[in-house]
Amino acid sequence: MRFAVPLLLAVCFAIDGHTPAAADDAAARPNVIVILADDLGYADIGVHGGTQIPTPNIDRLAASGVRCTDGYVSCPYCSPTRAGLLTGRYQQRFGHEFNCNPANKRWREIGLPTTETTIADRLAAAGYATGMVGKSHLGYADAYHPLRRGFQEFFGHLAGGHAYFSTSKPFSKNSPLLRGTTPVAETEYLTDALAREAVSFVERHRERPFFLYLAFNAVHTPMEAKPEQLARFAAIADEERRTYAAMTVSLDEAVGRVLDALEAAGVRERTLVFFLSDNGGPTCTDMAKNGSLNTPLRGSKGQTLEGGIRVPFLVSWPGKLPAGTTYGRPVIQLDILPTALAAAGAPVAAEAALDGVDLVPYLSGRRDGPPHEALYWRFGRQSAIRKGNLKLVTWMDRDTEVMSTQLFDLAADVGEAHDLAADRPADVAALTADWRAWNATLAEPLWLDRTKDAAVDAK
């Protein structure tokens, strides 16, 4: 608690509206909300064809904007994806390749490097009120606390997961629920509590531009659902899937509460909203399975197959982006930072070396061509590159620990069922050379974790 006083002042600064933006400035600059689900299956929302679990609020967000069918994250795992999202840079560039876990002996020393500037840092400097609600998972020491990373308000937890009920056995004894830096007792189901805090942030900052990072821990384990939601899915025989469905409905209702709050505050038309998951659903036996489905994708959280890295990815900005449309070229969570900053009129100097791009010209149809010539992944010994519709992937069967390198044409084979490597050696060689050139620009991991693929194998 060494920085409790200055952080309290920062929170009060945000709450009392000190030096508010002028009315015309507020009208010109949009609010930005990033809603991040945790371990959500690709197949488990209505707009992706899911029929077993109703997600009307996520679906209405999609109907109000653009659904990116080929939306990716830069890691098939929780913490690195969040590091990339908040910085707009491949997290391997600064060594954040693996999770920040209490199991790591150095866990109090590791986290999102303080040399990196976050989206909250940048938007706060541009005059935005900045708040974070939910799961951080970017370090446990004071230096990594959200209130030290550009956020003026924080309600949530620092660990990779948390119990949903106050009566549950704590999911992480090292990570209490916090308001700012102060542990709090919470009586509501956690997903509902996070929605409540997000709605409060919207209501309190409706008069000035704001940035809200709403990082749900749902539908990550532990599998805990409200009884009334479980009752809705009594017909699902599998207990894990039934609980997951109930938890997903609570997540969807929480999204709806935030959208309703924007409309009630009269700011929906000037709010840019992103919705995505931090990785694919965990379907491998060693990945704390939650009952999710990634159909028609192959693979799981923890793998560089599509099921681990392609996620639900929605972008809505009424009047600026076409409603009810889809976008089929590859985009990635690294694009969120430059898109938000461009919308806010807060350009980033080239020296920042961002890997993401402003998506608005592409999603609005004003700019042709792909946002990225190629997308890249490195996760220990696993890797991938997607260039056009070709994807070269080295992935691990997490049950057998067997590594495979395969080539797929995703336009014809989104399920990665037909390996083309033997038939197209020239493509394998070209993509391998491209990936190696990218890999040469990366840092070594600052720490390892206990996953099976925790060693880097530079090809």
CA angle at 201 for the pair 195 and 205, rounded to the nearest 5°: 150
Give pLDDT, residue 399: 79
Per-residue exposure over 23-37, b if at least 16 CB sit within 10 Å of its own CB, e if not: eeebeebbbbbbbbb
| Catalytic residue set | 78, 137
Give pLDDT, residue 9: 36
Give pLDDT, residue 457: 47
Beta-strand ranges (E) seen in 7-164 are 31-37, 66-68, 71-72, 129-135, 153-157
CA angle at 434 for the pair 113 and 370, rounded to the nearest 5°: 85
In degrees to the nearest 10, what's the CA dihedral of 414, 85, 81, 373? Answer: 40
Q: Which amino acid is at 127?
A: G
Give pLDDT, residue 2: 38
Give pLDDT, residue 100: 83
Please list the ranges in the chain whose pLDDT falls under 70: 1-27, 102-105, 107, 168-174, 450-459
CA 386/CA 409 separation, integer angstroms: 10
Domains of the chain: 4-363 (3.40.720.10), 375-439 (3.30.1120.10)
Residues 58, 42: contact at Cβ < 8 Å? no
CA 320/CA 262 separation, integer angstroms: 17
Give pLDDT, residue 398: 79
Give pLDDT, residue 22: 41
CA 214/CA 33 separation, integer angstroms: 7
Residues 389, 420: contact at Cβ < 8 Å? no
Give pLDDT, residue 105: 65
CA angle at 346 for the pair 342 and 349, rounded to the nearest 5°: 95
Give pLDDT, residue 434: 98
Q: Which amino acid is at 167?
A: T
